[in-house]
Amino acid sequence: MELNAQNGQYEIQGLNVLDIVKTHGSPLYLYDGDKMEQQYNRLKNAFDGINLKVKYACKSLTNLSVLKLFKKLGSDIDTVSIQEVQLALLAGFTPDQIIFTPNCVSFEEIQEAVELGVMINIDNISILEQFGNHYGSSVPCCIRVNPHIMAGGNSKISVGHIGSKFGISVFQMPHVRKVVENHNIKVVGLHMHSGSDILDSQVFLQAANVLFEATEGFDDLEFIDLGSGFKVAYKEGDVTTNIEEVGKVLGDAFKSFCKSYGRELELWFEPGKYLVSESGLLLVETNVIKHGLAAVFVGVDAGQNHLIRPMMYDAYHHIVNISNPKGKERIYDVVGYICETDTFGHNRKLNEVHEGDILAIKNAGAYGFMMSNNYNSRLRAAEVLIYKGEARLIRKRETMDDIVRNQVDFFESETVQQ
């Protein structure tokens, strides 16, 4: 989103953002598809010369139009539930383009995914044993390794440490090898993911080296999957992961590993936030300006039901008053309309805000709509995608019919009898 110096309006791909809100209402999720494409191409270019596969981590944003956009760009897809597998298939991905990395699911869900023909990524020994009992070497699989590395911008998004529920401990690999051998399991990939918002290329390299060492005894490998974790900018001047540096450091290490392994493997990454976070805005309307004793509150027509990341992760999302780009700057607390403490931003400097002004909450493309809910019986927002200069509605706003659709009235028969 850029401010057009000539007309003083915020635009995306030349389209006036305020006009889009007038057309589709608020709150509204608005995505810049061209930005998604730029991020995808930057990652691909950073690993030039490597047999790279990008698997879009669709849990960050599963709208079918977004999935189809990444398919159009040449991406494969990473899924974590059987429902995401089904959505990926609906979007046109073929089973061989889909990796399924669930956590703590029943074996029945694993079997359903096997029937659909996707790559199964197994992250605990119990499931690995059941998998071997059922399929032996007839169905290849991947194994998720926990590297025991504390990495990431927040403890809740660090998933590769010793206390994490994700993956099989790297120290349990001798046991894993015995299970694989005893059940004649064909392991074609090893996977790890240590966390999100990682800045240092050396952290990626440290984790990669752990995984390279874990390949001992696995002779049928076709790929190494290093997950993701690239940090994006949340505010002006924010430090981000240098993708080109990561590409150089990891690319060289991977080439060296392949040489020692004896043949060239594929290198997989599963970016989600990196691809879609910066593309997204949550556009909200100001309901009220409330002067408290300790703060001036800007109360908007959204809340933690629409964007829970600030409340759940203490995540920073930059906020802009797009209705008054030249107004005098003042300090506000931007808060939601949910009957909980749902502060989007504390002590934020904004151009003076009036009731009816539209605010843009940035970096809302990843885990924004996807983590939204119906708390307080509020409705989920609509979604609009802009791609190649054209804005289209890609999800309708919910209605009260959506809220009550699956409810069954316990007292309906009683009312009929009366």
Blockwise average pLDDT, block size 10, the chain, 418 residues: 86 97 98 98 95 97 98 98 98 98 95 98 96 97 86 44 77 95 97 70 84 93 92 84 91 95 96 96 98 96 97 94 96 97 96 98 97 97 98 98 95 67
> Is the separation of the CB atoms in 156 and 312 below 8 Å?
yes
pLDDT at 273: 95
pLDDT at 354: 98
Binding site feature residues = 229, 309, 313, 340, 367
In angstroms, the CA 158 to CA 186 distance is 29
- What global pTM score does this model have? 0.92
Structure tokens that stand for 361 in this block: 């909450």
Task: Choose which CATH entry (3.30.70.870, 3.30.565.10, 1.10.3470.10, 3.20.20.10) describes domain 62-271.
Answer: 3.20.20.10
Tell me how many degrees the CA angle 70-75-81 measures, rounded to the nearest 5.
Answer: 80
- The alpha carbon torsion through 33, 363, 235, 288 (nearest 10 deg) reads 120
Domain ranges across the chain? 2-30+277-404, 62-271
- The alpha carbon torsion through 335, 341, 342, 348 (nearest 10 deg) reads 40
Catalytic residue among 141, 142, 258, 339: 339
Closest-CA residue to 332 (of 285, 362, 292): 292
Closest-CA residue to 321 (of 369, 272, 360): 360
pLDDT at 196: 54
User: Which H or E run includes 17?
Assistant: helix 17-24
Helix runs in 168-242, H state only: 173-183, 201-214
Annotated active-site residue 339? The verdict is yes
CATH number of 2-30+277-404: 2.40.37.10
Binding site feature residues for substrate = 309, 313, 340, 367
CA dist 240 → 236, 270, 302, 323, 373 (Å):
11, 18, 28, 29, 30
Binding site feature residues for pyridoxal 5'-phosphate = 229, 367
Structure tokens that stand for 81 in this block: 């539930």
> Is the separation of the CB atoms in 63 and 368 below 8 Å?
no
> Is the separation of the CB atoms in 209 and 177 below 8 Å?
no
Three-state DSSP at 379 gives: coil
